[in-house]
Structures are given as C-alpha cells and as structure tokens.
Amino acid sequence: MSKRQILERYFGHKAFRPLQEEVVDAILEGEDVLMILPTGGGKSLCYQLPTLLMDGVTVVISPLLALMHDQVAALRANGISAAMLSSMQDQEEIRHIEEALERGEIKLLYVAPERLTNSYFLSLLHRLKINFFVIDEAHCVSEWGHEFRENYRRLDLLKRAFPETPIAAFTATATQAVEEDIAANLGLRAPKRVRGSLFRENLTIHARHRIKDGREQLLDFLQQHEGESGIIYTLSRKSTESVAHFLQSKGIEARAYHAGLSTEEKNRTYGDFVADKVQVVVATIAFGMGIDKSNIRFVIHMTLPKTIENYYQEIGRAGRDGLESETLLLFSAQDIVQQKMFIEALPETPYKAHAFNKLESMVRFANGEGCRHQSIAAYFDDRIEPCKEKCDNCLTPERNKVDITTAARKLLSAIARTEQRFGLHYVVDILRGSKEQRILQNGHDTLSVYGIGSDYSKAQWLSIADKLLEMGALQIGEFKVYKLTAFGIEVLKGTEPVTIREERLRVEKSAPKRKVTYFDDYDVEIYDKLKQLRSQIASENGIPPYIVFSDKTLKDLSAKQPATKEEMLEVHGIGEVKFERYGEAFLELLHG
C-alpha cells in the first residue's frame, strides 16, 4: 500500500496535516529527524505511519505509562499491532510480548527510558530487527528544558549501541538552545529538522489578575463551558482537593488528581475523565502529559506556572481535535513571590539563574499587553503575526491604561516612612487614615502620608501594590514585610512612570460580596490554615482553641475572607474584644 492508502485505511484521514508528510518521507529514507510541533499537530502519526511501510519494529521511548497505554490502545483499535513493556506488567505478560517481538508480530513497542539502561532488555533489542527509534517528549533530554529527566540524558547510548539505526525525536516545545541540546545529546547525525508554527488557531488565550482566591472568576468562566471537559491546574495537593470540593458544591462533576492519591483512585479518575464520566479534573501538573483525550475544551491555571514551556504544554491539552477551545490563567504577585522562594531554595548552580530567567519570562507574558500567541511564539524563537481575535489582548486592545505614578509614590513613601517594618495591609490602612488602635499607638497617624490615600479603596491599593511587585519596585521580605528595591526608589523619586490597566482598579466591582449564611462552600484550605493559627494562639495563651474562635467562626471567616476590621466584625462570633485580641493576626493570614 502507498502512504496515502495507509493514511486513510489505518488513521482515517484523507490528507496529511502540514509537515507530516515531510517527516514521514525523511523517516522512510533512513534519516535522523528532529521535529518540533505543537500539541495537536499530529506528531504521533509521523512515526506510526512509516513503520507500516518498513520491515521490523519501531521502538518508542516515552516518559509516562498513561501516555504509552493510551497510544497502544488507540493503535490496536486501528488494527495496528502495538505493545508496551512496563514495570506494571507481570512476568508472563512480558514473556508473551517478548516472544511476539522475536516472531516479528509487533510493529510498535513502547518503553520508558529507564528500561534502556537494563542489559537484559538491550540484549533483547539486539535480537530484533529495529527500523528506527522514536524519542517522544524529547525536550526531557535537555537540562535547559522545563522537564529535564536524568534517564533521558542517558539515551545517547542508542547511537553507541545501534549506530546504524535512525532516531526520530519529537517534542511540542523547544527554544533554539534546547533544540541544539537535544540534537547534540542524542548524537543525531545531520538530522532533518522540522519546526511547526507555534500558533494554535483554535485556542483562545486569556490571562487575568486573580481576584481573592479566583473562585468567582473560575465560576464565571465555567458557565461558558457547561457540560464540557476541562482541566484545572493548581499549585498544591491541598488546593486540588479544595477547588474540587468547591466545584462539587456548585453542582459541577469535578475530581481532584495529585500524587498523594492511591494508584487505584488516580486510575479511576483518569479513566472516568477520558470516558467523559467526569467533566473536570482539578490537578497538579502531574496530570495530563501526553493525554490522548481530544475533546478537552478548556484548560485553567489557578496560579502562575513556573515557565512558559510548562504553560504552553499544559494549555496544549485543550482542543486537540481542532475545535474551538479556551484557556484561562489566573495569577497574582504573590504567585511570583512564591515561585521565587522555590528557586531561592535551589543550590547555587547555573540552572538556578536559568530558572529565574524562565520565571521572569512567564511573568512578562502574564502581565504583557501584546498578542499572547505572538509572545509565546517569540519565546520559542518563532515569528508570527498577531492573532487578532484569539487572545484577550487582541480581542480588547482598547483596554485603557491609567497613570498611577502619584499613587505608587504615595504607597512607596508610606512604606519608607514606616521604616519598611510592616505588612501591606497596615501601610494601606495608614494611607486611608484608619483609626485602628495599633496605628494610633505607633504614632503613625502623625506621619505626612497618613490619610493621603483615601481616594482609593483598600482593594485598589492592593492592586497598585501588586503592580509595583510585578515591576520589581517592591519586594517582600521576612514576615511579609514590604521593602523598596533600588528601582522602587527611582519610582519614588518620580523618575519612572507607573501605569495600570483600568480594570485592575475595579476589582471590588468584579467580585461583589455574597452574604454567606451556611458554610457548605467554605474554603477548606484557608479553613485549615485558620485552624493552625488558632492552635498557635491558643497554645501561646494557655487556653483551649475554641476560646479563641469556634469552628463555626473559622468557617465563616474562610467563606467571607474579610479584609478590614469592619468586615471582620460581620463574621459570626467576632466582637470588638475578640477582634482587639486576635483580629489582626487572622487578617494578616487572610490577606497579608
């Protein structure tokens, strides 16, 4: 059969997608290949089709069992003999597969990279007729990539052990530096390099500053995708549970997925999601790599990813069927601070500086006001025209900027005049002329900045502080104390202008407060943190925790999340005395 006949018979397509036939031909001609093509571009077909026109078996190295399992199942469903070898199989099943391989009955064999360091397996490969090797997710080879894996680095053994066997390497994302690293470390010989456009024309990208915990924004977005499949990424195991619980309370079929769950529970969630029995999976980044589910209509990030590579691969899981899909990134300056803290904990190596650079690129993307598709493409050294209507920035270019230079200088001045020793909420209260006891006791009502910021609400001042953090004019030190940077001093002097998008100063209108009577939708994660603080205060004062605040009070706190004394006094079980004793500590935890 010809290429076209196989394409139609086994894969059900009338024609190749862009670049596919070029790679298929290179493989058939025995060339090494390095292909960089976005998720959904059809990389798998580029190596699955040519093996059907060649003698022997194709060995595919892939990083995840779930990915291998899905691909093998899909190939078998298409009438193509495929198998995988993994540690999850018993010895009898492995023996049957090995015997079928030696009889030449399998066209594609999927294995994890670790297996190639096994001498027994290598001896098996030497007894087979291998037409070519495939390295999937090839960016894992590069230590400058975002998912470097030590076992991938050892794949240079393929060219040493099988010098005449071609290698085809595939990845969805790679900068020029990562591309060169892949080619060099795999020992590819004058490889055919094929790089597809990074533009996903069926993907609309949105990025917004997160308001409070982002849940109102999340619900607003999900209302546009009722009954559709999607993935929500969060930073921690706890937050996956919390967000999934919140969505369930709103009648949305959602499940949490993270590394702390049992294998049985993870497999059940994965299977139900693929089978459309579950609408939404709330997950850490452990979920979704290589997932073959084509009808994922949306991907949401509740916090800032650490790199553009991570982000682009994760949003690439939406719309693999080519139909219209959407992504939403919710982020805040606190995300940036947290990611920097993670990097600071790393040992002093070139990789650490590289990680900071990658994070800065991600921050610039999130805050950027140009075409988001164009920004992603530029990061990967691709040049494309603005998308015009496939990202929030291009859809609403008229979003006005407001000059907040004067306000920024007021905030920076207030931080400086309080000797950079206090949290943000305290400084904002000074600007707004609060009569809080602590301010009066410290004599900060006599400062020249006292009361000069009453023209902005507290929420607006917090947005202005976010902007200054993003710009690098402020940094957060120990005990969440805000400090001026060298650049912040220049802004304070008036030599650097500061602008902000107008909608960021309308945060209070974007998230109207709801009266909470029952507590079935309280934030579990925040509730747990409030309990920890309560225990600490109770221990320090030698009293039972319930004397500080009752569980009912903590649940009401986590549901309403008050930002001021006045709002806190509206919470069940909190009066003036309790607030004076314990209120500030809880406000600092909620918004500090």
Within a domain: 515: no
Q: Give the pLDDT score at 186.
A: 93
- Which is nearest to 46 in space by CA: 8, 19, 81, 80? 19
Q: Find the domain containing 139 and state its range.
A: 3-195
Report the pLDDT value the prediction gives residue 205, as an integer from 0 to 100.
97
Q: Are residues 472 and 405 part of one domain?
A: yes
Distance CA 337, CA 178 (A): 27
**pLDDT for res 398:** 61
**Domain contains 517:** no
**pTM as predicted:** 0.62
Number of domains comprising the chain: 4
pLDDT on residue 291: 64
User: Pick from 86, 143, 83: which is nearest to 113 by CA?
Assistant: 86
Do 240 and 342 reside in the same domain of the chain? yes
483 touches 477 (CB < 8 A)? yes
**pLDDT score, position 292:** 65
Whether 410 and 452 share a structural domain: yes
Amino acid 521: pLDDT: 56
Query: For the domain that residue 209 is a member of, what is the CATH number?
Result: 3.40.50.300
Amino acid occupying residue 590: L
For position 510, what pLDDT does the model report?
Answer: 34
Residue 577 counted as domain residue: yes
Residues 157 and 22 in one domain: yes
Tell whether 104 and 208 lie within a shared domain: no
564: tokens are 């001021």
290 and 387, same domain (yes or no): yes
Cα separation, 428 vs 458, in Å, equals: 7
pLDDT at res. 109: 97
Helix, strand, coil percentages (3-state) for the chain, rounded to 5, are 50, 15, 40
Amino acid identity at 118? N
Residue type, 425: H
- Residue 11's SS3 state is helix
408 and 387 in a common domain: no
208, part of any domain: yes
Q: Are 386 and 480 in contact (CB under 8 A)?
A: no
Residues 342 and 433 in one domain: no
**CATH assignment of the domain containing 559:** 1.10.150.80
User: Which residues of the chain have a pLDDT value below 50?
Assistant: 507-520
- Whether 516 maps to a domain, the answer reads no
Do 96 and 229 belong to one domain?
no
* Last residue of one domain, picked from the residues 395, 426, 449: 395
CATH number for position 433:
1.10.10.10
| 423 plus 348 within the same structural domain | no
Instruction: Compute the distance between CA of residue 292 and CA of residue 110 in angstroms, rounded to an integer.
Output: 15
Between the CA atoms of 174, 175, 178 and 179, what dihedral angle is there, to the nearest 10 degrees? 70
**In the prediction, which pLDDT does 519 show?**
41
Tell whether 272 is covered by a domain.
Answer: yes
Angle at 582 between CA 576 and CA 583, to 5 degrees: 65
pLDDT in the model for residue 281: 95
Q: How far apart are CA 282 and CA 302, in angstroms?
A: 10
Which pLDDT value is given to residue 211?
A: 85
Return d(Cα 521, Cα 245) in angstroms, integer: 8
493, 563: one domain: no
Domain end marker among 455, 483, 510: 510
How does DSSP classify residue 391? B
Contacts of 403 (CB under 8 A, 6+ apart): 497, 498, 499
Q: Three-state SS string across 459-482, please?
A: HHHHHHHHHHHHHCCEEECHHHCE
In a domain, 220, yes or no: yes
Determine, yes or no, domain membership for 481.
yes
Q: Using CA atoms, how far apart are residues 121 and 129, in angstroms rounded to an integer?
A: 14
Q: How many angstroms separate the CA atoms of 369 and 232, rounded? A: 24
Q: Are residues 499 and 575 in the same domain?
A: no
Among 395, 415, 437, the domain boundary falls at: 395
